[in-house]
Amino acid sequence: MKLLEGKNVIITGASRGIGTGIAQVFADNGANVAFTYSSSEAPALELEKELSSKGVKAKAYKSNAGSFSESQELVAKVLEDFGGIDVLINNAGITKDNLLMRMSEEDFDKVIEINLKSVFNMTKAVQRTMLKQRKGSIINMSSVVGVKGNAGQANYAASKAGMIGFTKSIALELGSRNIRCNAVAPGFIETEMTAKLEDKVVQGWRDGIPLKRGGAPEDIANACLFFASDLSGYVTGQVLNVDGGMLT
């Protein structure tokens, strides 16, 4: 029996990087996967095909996680197409790095909207379904940067720290209905998001990691697999650092 056999999962932002890794690992474990993208239509449709070939139901949806109304519409469509939602993974995220001196109000607001408000939008949209089922698992993709801060990323760090407060609050609010809410805090994971950094910066990150390598999307997907499955049935309100020991 596969760990997520027959479970219906929504993942935001799975057209690339960590989200794609989660979608692949979840499909391998028997989950039906509904996932979103904002602009990368071609890779999203490619992923839809790849997941479907594994014998699970899979569908890509274009939806802006930062929009309250689009999140409501998305969840309604997924319910129509899949018949239920057992797991929500709030993974969509962006960076707009700059020192505070140069950070514009627009870049601060955008990062909070896409990274943090999206979590409110999507969690609120799935809440009714999970309450009715008296079961659900919500997983929020935070970051080590949300735990320890990072110069040049005040907007991003604030959004990721906010996700941790949100996670713990929802765990307290919905625990009595058997809905769990946990966060994963990835360290340095090698995706397009980190490919934007200079080589010198990337090497600096790798050198500072006790396991001496950047993580892969699968490393994060495996942590999500634990939180999504019944293996973590008695775990809620937690933040799991998946960072090669970076915060140790």
Please name the residue that has the structure tokens 């713990």.
168
* 74 three-class SS: helix
| Euclidean distance between CA atoms 82 and 150, whole angstroms | 40
Catalytically annotated residue among 37, 61, 156, 234: 156
- Least spacing, CB of residue 150 vs ligand NAP, in Å: 10
Interface residues with ligand NAP (CB under 6 A)? 12-19, 36-40, 64-66, 91-94, 114, 141, 143, 186, 188-189, 191-194
| Euclidean distance between CA atoms 5 and 91, whole angstroms | 21
In the bound state with ligand NAP, the residue whose beta carbon lies nearer, of 163 and 174, is 163
In the bound state with ligand NAP, the residue whose beta carbon lies nearer, of 15 and 232, is 15
- C-beta separation of 60 from 81 below 8 A: no
- Least spacing, CB of residue 67 vs ligand NAP, in Å: 8
- Least spacing, CB of residue 89 vs ligand NAP, in Å: 10
Q: Compute the half-sphere exposure of residue 98: CA atoms within 13 Å on the CB side of its CA.
A: 11
H helix intervals, 83-214: 105-111, 118-133, 144-148, 154-174, 192-195, 199-207
| Euclidean distance between CA atoms 159 and 178, whole angstroms | 27
CA distances to 27, 33, 43, 90, 136 from 76, rounded to whole Å, are 22, 15, 24, 17, 17
- Least spacing, CB of residue 135 vs ligand NAP, in Å: 25
In the bound state with ligand NAP, the residue whose beta carbon lies nearer, of 2 and 149, is 149
In the bound state with ligand NAP, the residue whose beta carbon lies nearer, of 132 and 170, is 170
- Least spacing, CB of residue 175 vs ligand NAP, in Å: 24
In the bound state with ligand NAP, the residue whose beta carbon lies nearer, of 14 and 171, is 14
For residue 156, indicate whether it is catalytic.
yes
Active site residues per annotation: 156
